[in-house]
Structure 1
Amino acid sequence: MCGRYAASRRPEDLTGLFQVERWDPEETLDPDWNVAPTKEVYAVLERPVKDAADRRPVRQLRTLKWGLVPSWAKTPEGAARMINARAETVHEKPSFRKAFLQRRCILPADGYYEWMTGADERQLEEAGKKKRPRKQPYFVTPADGSVFAMAGLYEFWRDATLPPDHPGAWWVTCSVITTEAETTPLAVAPAEGPSALADIHPRMPVMLTPDRWDAWLDPARSDSEELRALVAPPEGGLMRAYPVATAVSNVRNNGPELQAELAAPEETTLF
């Protein structure tokens, strides 16, 4: 899964990188090194601009709330549980299938955090022991320092308890699509610890390489099989992963120091 990531790039950089045509400076977000569910995040998407005479799709940089609320949901209470959609089933799940065909986006990130349980602790878990396992956080990021373009979906939800002209009447929410974690060796592996992403966690966000950006964002594309091919895992060996301090486990902590690489996993980390 993907439950925490970092997004510190400036909107001015993202608009150039993704060839964005429209961005409202009022939607500027502060750099965030500890993005958690229900936070507002940047998303690149293509759709017509509201009230514009020209109804052509326009590539935009928007701020959405992380945690998808289906349009048919009666309340938004389950948003924190809808942060991920599985690539293998996204085309058929009621919560995601319409968005998959019509409302796709890219969620730009520096990388994502994942927690790895040590071998001894995994054995305790499998044996049903009550001892709380130790988990070491890792930061996973493109080895070449490029943006991590996560495949995403977005959806609109109407709060029927508010009048239509109320600023909070419409929610725009999103979800990260995940796939099986790579089993190929990391481009750069830590001196101690995992040699592949699958050693850390069995799932990872779908990384869209630049050659897939245009096709993924194009709202005119609605063939399910073609779209499913776009969320197939890219070529392996593009990522690096390294241990970081357990301070990232607390969502209240935020700052570039959370991405600082440790020489080795911490000895006594409790998640």
Structure 2
Amino acid sequence: MCGRYAASRGPEELAEVFGVERWEPEETLAPDWNVAPTKEVHVVLDRPLKDAPSRRPVRQLRVLKWGLVPSWAQNPDGAARMINARSETIAEKPSFRRPFAQRRCIIPADGYYEWVTAHDERQLEVEGKKKRTRKQPYFVLPSDGSVFAMAGIYEFWRDRTLPDEHPLAWWATCSVITAEAETGPLGVAPAEGPRSLADIHPRMPLMLTPDRWDAWLDPARTDPDELQALLAPPPGGLMRAYPVSTAASNVRNNGPELLEELEGPEEGTLF
């Protein structure tokens, strides 16, 4: 899955990387090294400009809320549960199939955090009491340090309790698409611990390589077979992962120090 990530690049850099034509300075977000569900995030999408005479899709950098609210939802209460959409079922699930067909986006990240998931729930004996082991967080990012372009979908939801002119009458929300984690060796593996992404967690965000960006963002591309082909995993060996401080586990912590690489897992953590 993807439940936390880092996004420190500014709009100018993202605009250059993705060929963005339009972004609003007032929508600029501060760097965030611990992006959590329901936070506002930058996304890249192709969409005609509102009230523009031409319906030509324009590549834009927009600010959306992470946690998709389906257009037909009665309220937005389930947004925190809609942060991920599985690539295997996205075309079938009622919450995701329409945005998958019509409203696809890229969610830029530096990389994402993942915590080791074990088949057993090993426990430590601490001061005579059993206490669940702290899970070791890893930061996963492209080996070459480039932007991690996570495949995403977005949707609009109308709050019928507010008048049309109210600034919060419309919600724009998004979800990260996930796929099975790579089982092959990492491009750069840590000195000890997991040797593949699948050793850390069975799921991962679907990474879009630059050759797929235009096709993924094109709203005119609606053929189901073509869209399914875009969900194929990228070549292996493009990622690296390294252990980071368990401070990343607390959403209240934020700062570049969360990405500092540790020599090995922290003492007392499950890895």
TM category (shorter chain) comes to over 0.9
Contact 1:118-1:135 within 8 A present in 2 as well? no
Q: CA RMSD in A?
A: 1.5
- Give 3-state SS (helix, strand or coil) of 2:211's partner: helix
Using the TM superposition, give the Cα deviation of residue 134 of structure 1 relative to its aligned residue in structure 2, in angstroms: 2.6
Q: Is 1:97 matched with 2:114?
A: no
Using the TM superposition, give the Cα deviation of residue 55 of structure 1 relative to its aligned residue in structure 2, in angstroms: 1.1
Equivalent residue for 2:234?
Answer: 234
Q: Which amino acid aligns with 1:211?
A: D
CA distance in 2, matches of 1:95, 1:66: 15
Using the TM superposition, give the Cα deviation of residue 224 of structure 1 relative to its aligned residue in structure 2, in angstroms: 1.3
Using the TM superposition, give the Cα deviation of residue 225 of structure 1 relative to its aligned residue in structure 2, in angstroms: 1.5
1:28-85 Cα deviation digits (max 9, x unpaired): 0000000000000000001110011111110000000000000000000000000000
Equivalent residue for 1:11?
Answer: 11
Q: Is 1:60 matched with 2:60?
A: yes
CA distance in 1, matches of 2:84, 2:131: 28
Contact 2:6-2:109 within 8 A present in 1 as well? yes
Contact 1:19-1:59 within 8 A present in 2 as well? yes
Equivalent residue for 1:127?
Answer: none
Equivalent residue for 1:216?
Answer: 216
Contact 2:122-2:133 within 8 A present in 1 as well? no
Q: Which amino acid aligns with 2:28?
A: T
Q: Which amino acid aligns with 1:259?
A: L
Q: Give TM-score scaled by structure 2 length.
A: 0.95
Contact 1:117-1:134 within 8 A present in 2 as well? no
Contact 2:133-2:268 within 8 A present in 1 as well? no
Using the TM superposition, give the Cα deviation of residue 123 of structure 1 relative to its aligned residue in structure 2, in angstroms: 5.0
Contact 1:117-1:133 within 8 A present in 2 as well? no
* Bigger mean CA offset, 261-270 vs 175-184: 261-270
Contact 1:117-1:136 within 8 A present in 2 as well? no
CA distance in 2, matches of 1:182, 1:61: 29
Q: Which amino acid aligns with 1:160?
A: R
Residues 84-233 of structure 1: pairs in structure 2 closer than 5 A: 84-117=84-117, 122=121, 131-233=131-233
Q: Which amino acid aligns with 1:229?
A: A
Equivalent residue for 1:83?
Answer: 83
- Give 3-state SS (helix, strand or coil) of 1:225's partner: helix
Equivalent residue for 1:72?
Answer: 72
CA distance in 2, matches of 1:104, 1:236: 24
1:212-263 Cα deviation digits (max 9, x unpaired): 0000000000011211111111000000000000001110100000000000
- Give 3-state SS (helix, strand or coil) of 2:132's partner: coil
CA distance in 2, matches of 1:228, 1:255: 37
Equivalent residue for 2:126?
Answer: none
Q: Is 1:243 matched with 2:243?
A: yes
CA distance in 1, matches of 2:121, 2:182: 20
Using the TM superposition, give the Cα deviation of residue 122 of structure 1 relative to its aligned residue in structure 2, in angstroms: 3.9
Using the TM superposition, give the Cα deviation of residue 117 of structure 1 relative to its aligned residue in structure 2, in angstroms: 4.2
Q: Give TM-score scaled by structure 1 length.
A: 0.95
Q: Which amino acid aligns with 1:204?
A: M
Identity of aligned residues (%): 77
Gaps (5+ residues) in structure 1?
125-129
Using the TM superposition, give the Cα deviation of residue 133 of structure 1 relative to its aligned residue in structure 2, in angstroms: 3.1
CA distance in 1, matches of 2:262, 2:133: 20
Gaps (5+ residues) in structure 2?
124-129
CA distance in 1, matches of 2:173, 2:122: 38
Using the TM superposition, give the Cα deviation of residue 158 of structure 1 relative to its aligned residue in structure 2, in angstroms: 0.2
CA distance in 1, matches of 2:121, 2:149: 31
